[in-house]
Structure 1
């Protein structure tokens, strides 16, 4: 293995761990609160929250303040109908994400002093090996293909659409994995024979760089990473589609945290 490859992999691992342990990353999330038409109060965010006629609303009590878009908010505030990107509000050194998942409004407060974040240690990985850097080819679909309904089920969000398949040789056989779009790159959710043994049971994810003009891609399983749900129950994660369940072990990339 070349020093250049190893150096780039170690640099990528450092960046990955920096993102994981960032002050407002998902290790700082202290709750996943689903909103209803009835006002609710939560321990880790100020105010009473509900879904009103105009969308998400909050009523802040005496001495309670949120900052939204750089402006302080007191009393009653209407956030409106939100999408999956949503908005953020801050209070003290914490922030709360207000968004929807599967069409259901939710709150996710993030506190930098959350014990889960403070106790985080680097994720164990398999040793990198060029045996897991595979040449492949992307076969685009004529049109995006529906894989499921965007619904929250037990905290998971079903995958929506696929844009094609990535083909490569693994364990002496041709394999294909369904891919989603990630900007110009491809995003692959997969499970394999290590899932639930040495790696997270629900599967892992992998980004494949933009295909070449002829569809050529490089599938580097050394860069397979865990889904956020491997670290905390306060996130929503997508299912790998059934076609992406490999019957062989992929002993590369991140292991169980």
Structure 2
């Protein structure tokens, strides 16, 4: 039996410490200072909105093409591509690497090319971001065994999409793969969950009776990969803050219909500590 199985308290502490290290890393979520360019409506940013090729606060000339992005830069721009100074034009696709290993950099800043809703944009990660400097930790409730319960995943058999409002005020489709059911405090509950296409792990956007009061308005639950019979542990001790809790430039979805639980999840990550606490 593993040490984690023998001592869930120690495992939870290790998980929490890893989460704090991850979000506060030089190119973690707290370092995101912009997703550019931003459309005047506040919707999905797109390079097509800047046909002259200049994105505010980002060096170089950027142009969206049918298959990606063309970036043209000179020595005065100070951009490096794969660690080498960029002098001329480069054809870029979406950067699949984590920000710390992004292909593009401008000094200590990392530039990450993304494609979202058919639009090309650039995310800017700066280790000197004010949010990262002000970070003092994540308020989290210590492990409570009552919040770790058996669950069962039942796939739909085919992918379903539900329209859900996002934090930027727009409604978008959220793909769902099945339902995760479990019992808590004498009642049966079911969550609509997504399934990761790469490894089959589950994740859900959930709300509860603490949301917007003593916890962030919604949180993420990632139970892991269910067994062949659908069994999986629902450990509410590991509910976590969504990326938009750390930087406003992330666009997160609100819980889909049916995913706001009627009880208090007085467990897991609750909110950011200190001056950064928001969304409650």
TM range (shorter): 0.7 to 0.9
* In 1, Cα distance between equivalents of 2:254 and 2:117: 13
Q: Note closer, same or farther for the CA distance 1:152–1:187 as it changes in structure 2 (3 Å cut).
A: closer
| Match status 1:57 vs 2:70 | yes
Pick one of 246, 254, 257 that aligns with 1:231: 246
* In 1, Cα distance between equivalents of 2:71 and 2:8: 50
Pick one of 111, 114, 118 that aligns with 1:99: 114
Aligned residues: 251
| Matching residue of 2:28 | 25
| Match status 1:4 vs 2:7 | yes
| Matching residue of 1:158 | 172
* In 2, Cα distance between equivalents of 1:156 and 1:57: 29
| Match status 1:169 vs 2:172 | no
| Matching residue of 2:270 | 255
3-state SS of paired residue (1:160): strand
* 1:153 Cα offset (Å): 7.1
Q: Which runs of 5+ in 1 are unaligned?
A: none
* In 1, Cα distance between equivalents of 2:65 and 2:20: 39
| Matching residue of 1:13 | 16
* In 1, Cα distance between equivalents of 2:105 and 2:151: 45
Q: Note closer, same or farther for the CA distance 1:196–1:106 as it changes in structure 2 (3 Å cut).
A: same
* In 2, Cα distance between equivalents of 1:160 and 1:51: 26
Q: Which runs of 5+ in 2 are unaligned?
A: 37-44, 273-280
1:166 and 1:178 in contact (8 A); partners too? yes
* 1:9 Cα offset (Å): 0.6
Q: TM-score, normalised by structure 2?
A: 0.80
Q: Note closer, same or farther for the CA distance 1:10–1:52 as it changes in structure 2 (3 Å cut).
A: same
Q: Note closer, same or farther for the CA distance 1:67–1:152 as it changes in structure 2 (3 Å cut).
A: farther
| Match status 1:190 vs 2:202 | no
Name the Cα RMSD after superposition.
2.6
